[in-house]
Amino acid sequence: MSKPAHCVARLFLLINLSLLILANSLAGQEPEQLESYIRLHYTKHEAMVPMRDGVKLMTSVFVPRDTTKTYPILIKRTPYNVGPYGVDKYPSKLGPSELFVKAGYIFVNQDVRGRFASEGEFQQVTPHLPNKSHASEVDESSDTYDTIEWLLKNVKNHNGRVGMFGISYPGFYAAAGMIDAHPALVAVSPQAPVSDWYFDDFLHHGAFFLAHAFRWLSSNAGERPTPTTEPSKPFVYPTPDGYKMFLEAGSVENIDKLYLKGAIPFWQEMMQHPNRDEFWERRALIPHLKRVAPAVMTVTGWYDAEDLYGSFKTYQSLEELNPNVNNVLVVGPWPHGGWASSDGDRLGEVSFGSNTAAFYRSEIELPFFEKYLKGKEYAAPAEATVFETGSNVWRTFDHWPPNNIESKRLYLQSGGRLDFASPEQTAPDSGYDEFVSDPNQPVPYSQKITPRMTVEYMVDDQRFASRRPDVLTFQTEVLSEDMVIAGALEADLWVTTTGTDADWIVKLIDVRPDAPESTPLAGYQMLLRSEVMRGRFRNDYAQPEPFIPGEPARIRLELLDVLHRFKKGHRLMVQIQSTWFPLVDRNPQTFVPNIYFAQPDDFQKATHRVLRSDQYPSSIEVGVLPKS
C-alpha cells in the first residue's frame, strides 16, 4: 500500500535525545554486562502454555520489575531454543536489540511445537491450514493466536498490545503468526522470513544449494524423538576444502550416505521431491498472508544469501492481499541477519561508509515498535526505506519498486559486449557464444577454501570466474555518467546444449575501473545479484523436461531486486555459467528422473551455447531510475 514519501532527513532526525543517550549507554556492552542488566531489571517466568489441541509449549516471559506502568508484549517464536532454561537463568539478549531492553517491554520467547522443551510434533516450515474446523487442526497461526490469548490472561502489567519479530526461521514464525491475526497483535516485523523453500534457502528454481543445506540441516534437523533442552551438535567437517569433499562424494545420495548417514529425515524427504509437487506447495506461506496485523515491517539485506526471495515475496504478497494494512519494507547492505548482529559498515572487501545496522536498530526498528506498541509520536515509516549501494546512501520511496523506473534491456552482443541496443539495431548478428561445461570440473562459487556458504560471496570479486573458459563474460563500455538500477532483474536467454539437461547461472556485476596498484579495489568485479535455474524446469517447476540437443530453448530467470548506483567510469558486467560448486549441486547434464540419485556415468561434458541474434536475442532486463 503506497504512502506519502518522506525525505531521508525528516525520517531519520525524528529520534529524540533519550534514544541517542540509550544507544550510547548500551553500545558495545559485553554479554555478561547485558545479562546483569536484564537480571536486575526483569523478572523471568516459565510456563507450559496450552494450545487448543492440548499440546503445551515452553514459554519464557520476562516482565519489567518496574510495575508503575504497563508494557507491550513482544514475542519471538523459535525452533532454535529459548535457553537458558530455568527461572534463575537469564540470557544475555532479549528482543530485537539491546535498545528494547532499556526501553521496557514484556519479552516472550517460545519453543515452537516439537522443539526442545515444547510438546508436540515438529514440522519443517509448518504447512498453513486456511480452513480449520476442529481443535486438532493446528498450525503456526493458531499456535500464535492461542499463545497471545494465554499471555493476555496470565501476564500482569501489559498494555493490551502485542508485537512479534524474528529473523530467518523465527521470521517465518512471525509471518505465519500474523495470518488471521489476534486482535491484540498490532505490529509485526518478519525479518528475512522463510516463505517458500522451493525458492528460498535450500532450493533456487529447482537447483539444490548444497553447501548451505548441508551445513544447516546437519546441525539443526536431526531427529529429536523426545522433548529435550540439549542443543544439537554441529557437524564436524573432515576437511576445510568443501569443493574437494563434495566433489569426491559424488551425488547428493552419496553425500547423505557418507556424511549424514540417514540421520536427517528432511534431507531424505527432499531427495524424494526434486520437483515442485504438493510437498513443496503445502509449505509455501506466501499465498496465505491474509488478514494480518495492522502494521508490518519486512526487513532484509541486499546480501542475504539465505532468504532474499522470502523477504521480497512476503512484502509483495502483503501488498497484494492486504490493501489496507500499513505494510512497509526496509532493505540495507547486510548479509543474512546482519542488521541485528553487526555494525553493518562493510561486507568482505566492500565498505558501506557508515554503521548502517546500528543506524537501523536505533532509528528504524525501535521507533517502529515504539510507535505502534506504545503510541509514541514517531512519524510513520516510509513505504520503502532502502540503502542505495554504490553511492552508500539511504533513500525512501512511496512505492517499491519505484514507480518511475524505466524498464530497459541489456543485450548480449558479439565480442563480449553488453549494450542497450538490440541486435537488430546494431550490426546483423546470427552468432552465439559457447563453452564446454564439465560437471567433473565445476566452476567454484568462491575463491575461499571452505565447506560452507560464505556470507560475503554475494559481493565477492568475480575476476577468478571471468578468467575461466567455462564462464561467458559480457560488459558495457565505460559509463560516461552515473546510472542507478532499481527493482527486480530478469535474465532472458536463448540457449542450446549438446546434452539433455543443464543449469544456468546468471550474475550481474559492477566492474570498477583499473587504477594504480595502491588504489583500493582497483578493477574489482563486485557481484551484485546472481541466481540459478535448473534447466529442466524452464517451462514448469512441476513437470521437468529434457533439452533437445541443438534445439534453441528459452530460459527466463528472475534475479530479484537491487538498488545500486553504477558510478561514472564503471562498467556493467554479466557472467553466464552452468556450474557453481559446491554452492549448488552438480547437474549431470544428462536428463535423469532424479538428479539427487544420478550415477557417475550420468555426469557428462556438454557444449552450451548462448544465442545472440535478432531471432534469438539474449538479454537482461533492468529498471533504470531517472538521473538525480
- pLDDT of the residue at 231: 77
Rounded Cα distance, 126 and 393, in Å: 38
- The confidence score (pLDDT) of residue 425 equals 64
Cα gap 187→130, rounded to integer Å? 22
Find how far residue 376's CA is from the centre of its chain.
31
Instruction: Please count the structural domains in the chain.
Output: 2
Does the structure show a pLDDT above 70 at 9? no
* DSSP notation for 482-512: -EEEEEEEEEEEEEEESSS--EEEEEEEEEP
CA distance 7 to 395: 8
Q: Are residues 383 and 433 in the same domain?
A: no
Is residue 248, in this structure, part of any structural domain at all?
Answer: no
> Is residue 541 located within the same domain as residue 444?
yes
3-class DSSP assignment, residue 56: strand
Q: Answer whether the bond into residue 582 is a cis peptide, omega within 30°.
A: yes
Q: What confidence score (pLDDT) does residue 28 get?
A: 53
DSSP string, 167-233: ESHHHHHHHHHTTT--TTEEEEEEES----TTTSTTEETTEE-HHHHHHHHHHH-S---S---PPPP
558 Cβ partners below 8 Å, 6+ apart? Answer: 488, 489, 490, 531
Pick from 180, 60, 79, 87: which is nearest to 129 by CA?
A: 180
Question: Last residue of some domain: 369, 397, 425?
Answer: 397
411 located within any domain = yes
Domain match, 457 and 374 both? no
Instruction: Tell whether 429 and 390 lie within a shared domain.
Output: no
What pLDDT digit, counting tens, does each position of 145-204 carry? 999 999 999 999 999 999 999 999 999 999 999 999 999 999 999 999 999 999 999 999
Q: Does pLDDT of 225 surpass 90?
A: no
pLDDT for 517 = 82
- For residue 382, the model assigns a pLDDT of 96
Is the residue at 538 inside a domain?
Answer: yes
Same domain (yes/no): 112, 136: yes
Which of 336, 368, 397 is the last residue in one of the domains?
Answer: 397
Tell me whether residue 418 is in a domain. yes
Flag whether 602 is in a domain. Answer: yes
Are 411 and 368 found together in one domain?
Answer: no
* pLDDT tens figures, 201-210: 999 999 999 9
Structural domain boundaries enclosing 102: 8-196+283-397
Q: How many CB atoms lie within 10 A of CB 441?
A: 13
Instruction: With a cut of 70, say whether residue 518 has pLDDT above it.
Output: yes
Residue 388 and residue 425 in one domain: no
Please state the rounded mean pLDDT for residues 393-405: 97
Does any domain span residue 255?
A: no
Among 470, 475, 529, 528, smallest CA distance to 502 is for 470
pLDDT at 428 over 60: no
Do 329 and 377 lie in one domain? The reply is yes
Least confident of 126-140, 226-240, 528-542, 543-557: 226-240
State mean pLDDT over 403-413: 96
Q: Residue 13 pLDDT more than 70?
A: no
Q: What is the pLDDT of residue 432?
A: 96
At 533, the amino acid letter reads M
Which range (14-18, 39-43, 457-461) has the least confidence? 14-18
Quickly state the pLDDT bin for 232 (edges 50, 70, 90): confident
Asked if residue 179 is part of any domain, the answer here is yes
Same domain, 343 and 447: no
Whether 237 maps to a domain, the answer reads no
Among the candidates 397, 432, 467, a domain finishes at 397
Does the predicted model carry a pTM greater than 0.85? Answer: yes
Which 8-state DSSP code applies to residue 546?
P
The domain that holds 477 is classified in CATH as 2.60.120.260
> Please, which pLDDT band fits residue 391 given cuts at 50, 70 and 90?
very high
Q: Is the pLDDT of residue 341 over 80?
A: yes
Regarding whether 410 and 386 lie in a shared domain, the answer is no
Integer Cα distance of 59 and 87 in angstroms: 11
Give me the CATH number covering residue 296: 3.40.50.1820
* Domain shared by 465 and 364, yes or no: no
pLDDT tens string 248-286: 999 999 999 999 999 999 999 999 999 999 999 999 999
Q: How confident is the model at residue 222 (pLDDT cuts 50, 70, 90)?
A: confident
Q: Kindly state whether residues 134 and 95 are assigned to the same domain.
A: yes
**pLDDT exceeds 80 at position 26:** no
By DSSP bridging, strand 326-335 and strand 203-204 are unpaired
Q: Is the pLDDT of residue 19 over 60?
A: no
Rounded mean pLDDT, 530-542: 98
